[in-house]
Structure 1
Amino acid sequence: MKTIVAATDFSPNANRATHFAMQLARAQHAQLILVNAFHFWPANPAETGGNFALSPRAMHDDSQKSLNHLAHELHETYGTDVLIQCITKEGYAMPAIREVTQDKKADLLIMSTVGTAPQSAQLMGSVATEMVAQTNVPLLLIPPSAKYADIRNVVLGIDLDTPPDAVVLDTAIGFARQLGCIINVLCINDKPNDPVVRHRAEHIRHLLIQIPHTLTILPGKDVYESLLTFAHANKADLIMMLPQPHNWLRQLFVDGETERTARLTDIPLLAIV
C-alpha cells in the first residue's frame, strides 16, 4: 500500500476519519492525500445565512488553508514520518474524489460514514454508499466512534448465492497480506448442506489457502444481520465485504436501517471493488 486518500468535509467525524487514515498510513509506510471538494453555489443559499465566499478562488483558498491546518495537526499528533499532500477540488464530492483517487493511483480511499447534523446520518451514509458504486479503489468507511488499532481480526462476508468475482477476492487477499491479519469468512445460505453450496465454500477456502483463515457457513437469508452479529461476537477489527449489484451498503446505512447502523458504530467497513 503506497497511497491512501482521505476525503473530508471538515466536520468532526470526517476529520476523525483522517486521524484513522494517518495512523494506517504510518503503519503501512504509505503517503496520505487529504482531499476536500467544494461546490461554489450552495444548494440552498438560505442555509448559509448569506455567509459564504464571494468567489470560487476564495472558497478554494479557504479549503486549502483548512487542509493545511489539518495536515499540520496530524503531523503534530503522529509525527512527520508520513508524507501528506493536500488537494482541494471544485465540484461535487463524488466525481471530485474519484478524480483524485484515479490521478494519484490511490490504493485506498477512506471516508466517514456520517456527518454531524441531525439529518446527516442518512445524507452522509448515502454519499458513502453511492461512492461504492463510483469509486475505482477499495473504500474504507470509518464510523464516528471507531478508534484506530492494529487490524488483526477481519470478518469477510460472502453470499454463496452470488460468489465473488475472482479479481475482487484477490484484491481482498492482497489487503489481508498487507495487514497481516486473519480472515474469518462468513458464508450465509438457507441451504448450508447443499452440495453446490459446499462446493462453492470449499472453492473459497482453496483461494484463501495462503492466508490464515476460518470459514463458517450459517443458515439463513439475511446476510447483513448475520454478518454484524458474527462480527461483534468475534470482536472483529474490520468488516470486509465485496459489493454485489443489489447494493448491500444502502441496506446498511440508509433507508431507515438505524438499528443496523447503530451496531456498526465501532467497526470500520472495507468495501473491496
Structure 2
Amino acid sequence: MKTIIVCTDFSQEAENAVHYAASMAKEHHYRLILFTLQTVSIHALNAQASAEFFYSQTLKNQKKLEDKATELETLYAVETGYHLASGNFIEELESCIQLHECNFLVMGMAEKTLEQKLLGNCVTTAIHRIKKPILIIPGHIEYAGIRKILFAYDTHKSMTWSSMNDIYYFINEFNAEVEVFNVSEILEDFENVIHDIDLNSGYDLDDIKYSFKMIQSIEVIKAIEEEIRLTGPDLLTMVPYKYTLAESLFHRSKTAIMAYKNKIPLLSIPLNID
C-alpha cells in the first residue's frame, strides 16, 4: 500500500498538516504514518532527571500518538500507524522512511520568525537532506484536492530522471494539469527548454495536460508569487538546487524561501544525486 509519513510535534501547524495528509490519504487510499521526534527539555537535562522520568515521558508520547492514530482512523477511515523516535531528526526520519517504505512526506510550516530566518528549521533541513518528495503545508490550508500544479522549472540547474519521475508521479496520481513556469534573466528559447524537459524526463509531454509559460525577470521569487496569484494553482512544485559551500555564502535556496513565504502547498522534489 502507498504510504505517507506526516511529521508532527502536535503544534497548530503540524496538526493542520496531519489533517491535510489524512484527507489526501482518504481520497487516494494511502496508509498514514505519524512521525514524532521525542525531545528532552533543557530543564530536565539540567535537573539530571532519572531514567524513570524519561521512560514515563516515552509512555505518554506513545499514548498521545496512539490516540491520534485512532482519532484519524475514526474520522477519515484510513489505516494509520505511528513512529516515535529520539535522537537526530534527519537520521531518525530517514530510518522511518526506510522502515515504512513511504512514497512521500508531509510537513507543516509555521509562520516565518526571526529565529527561523537566522537558523532555519526542520522543514528547510529536510528539504535539502531527505531523498523523498516533501509536501509542505502552510498552517491555514485545508485539503481540497490537487487539480492544478505550477512547476517552477529552472533550466540552469541540474535535473535527474528520478526528480522528473517524482513530478510525473504526482501529476498522474492526482490527474492534475500542470503549468511549467520558467523564469530567467535571459529569455530562453522555447524549443530548447521543451527539449531539456523531454531529455531529463524520458516522458512525452503529450501524455499529460500541460501549459508552458516563460518570462524574463531577475526577481524569481516575486515572479513565482505573481504567477500563483494569477493562475490559482493547488500546488507549487520546485526542485531545490544543492549549492556548494562557496555558493551557499552568496545564494539562498529559492525552494526554502518559498517554503516560508508560500500561500499554497509546496512540493519539494529531491535531486537524488549521490
**TM-score bucket (shorter structure):** 0.7 to 0.9
Q: Structure 1 CA distance, aligned partners of 2:239 and 2:46?
A: 39
Number of the residue aligned with 1:249: 255
Tell me if structure 2 keeps the 8 A contact 1:243–1:272.
yes
In the TM superposition, structure 1's runs of 4+ consecutive aligned residues that sit over 4 Å from their partners are 46-54, 118-125
Number of the residue aligned with 2:75: 77
Number of the residue aligned with 2:56: 58
Q: Structure 2 CA distance, aligned partners of 1:52 and 1:181?
A: 53
Tell me if structure 1 keeps the 8 A contact 2:155–2:196.
no
Q: Structure 2 CA distance, aligned partners of 1:140 and 1:15?
A: 14
- Residues 1-273 of structure 1 aligned to structure 2 (within 5 Å): 2-40=2-40, 42=41, 44-45=42-43, 55-78=53-76, 80=77, 82-114=78-110, 122=117, 126-192=121-187, 194-195=188-189, 198-204=191-197, 207-246=204-243, 247-253=253-259, 261=261, 264-265=262-263, 267-273=264-270
Partner amino acid, structure 2, of 1:6: V
User: Among the aligned pairs, what percent are the same residue?
Assistant: 23
Q: Which moved more, 1:59-68 or 1:180-189?
A: 59-68
Q: Kindly state the Cα deviation for residue 138 of structure 1 after the two structures are TM-superposed.
A: 0.6
Measured at CA, do residues 120 and 22 of structure 1 come closer, stay the same or move farther in structure 2, by a change above 3 Å? farther
Using the size of structure 2 for normalisation, the TM-score is 0.83
Q: Structure 2 CA distance, aligned partners of 1:163 and 1:231?
A: 24
Q: Structure 2 CA distance, aligned partners of 1:215 and 1:95?
A: 38
Using the size of structure 1 for normalisation, the TM-score is 0.84
Tell me if structure 2 keeps the 8 A contact 1:102–1:136.
no
Measured at CA, do residues 53 and 149 of structure 1 come closer, stay the same or move farther in structure 2, by a change above 3 Å? farther
Q: Kindly state the Cα deviation for residue 53 of structure 1 after the two structures are TM-superposed.
A: 9.0
Q: Kindly state the Cα deviation for residue 51 of structure 1 after the two structures are TM-superposed.
A: 10
Q: What is the SS of the residue equivalent to 2:61?
A: helix
Measured at CA, do residues 88 and 182 of structure 1 come closer, stay the same or move farther in structure 2, by a change above 3 Å? same
Q: Structure 1 CA distance, aligned partners of 2:103 and 2:171?
A: 14
Q: Kindly state the Cα deviation for residue 3 of structure 1 after the two structures are TM-superposed.
A: 0.5
Q: Structure 2 CA distance, aligned partners of 1:140 and 1:147?
A: 13
Q: Kindly state the Cα deviation for residue 47 of structure 1 after the two structures are TM-superposed.
A: 11
Q: Kindly state the Cα deviation for residue 120 of structure 1 after the two structures are TM-superposed.
A: 7.0
Measured at CA, do residues 132 and 92 of structure 1 come closer, stay the same or move farther in structure 2, by a change above 3 Å? same
Deviations 1:16-68 (A, max 9, x none): 1100111111111110001111123x2x3289999999533222211111111
Q: Kindly state the Cα deviation for residue 157 of structure 1 after the two structures are TM-superposed.
A: 0.3
Measured at CA, do residues 95 and 223 of structure 1 come closer, stay the same or move farther in structure 2, by a change above 3 Å? same
Tell me if structure 2 keeps the 8 A contact 1:114–1:121.
no
Measured at CA, do residues 50 and 56 of structure 1 come closer, stay the same or move farther in structure 2, by a change above 3 Å? closer
Q: Kindly state the Cα deviation for residue 100 of structure 1 after the two structures are TM-superposed.
A: 0.4
Give the RMSD, CA atoms, in angstroms.
Answer: 2.9
Structure 2 unaligned regions, length at least 5? 244-252
The count of residues paired between Structure 1 and Structure 2 equals 257
Q: Structure 1 CA distance, aligned partners of 2:171 and 2:259?
A: 25
Structure 1 unaligned regions, length at least 5? 255-260
Tell me if structure 2 keeps the 8 A contact 1:115–1:124.
no
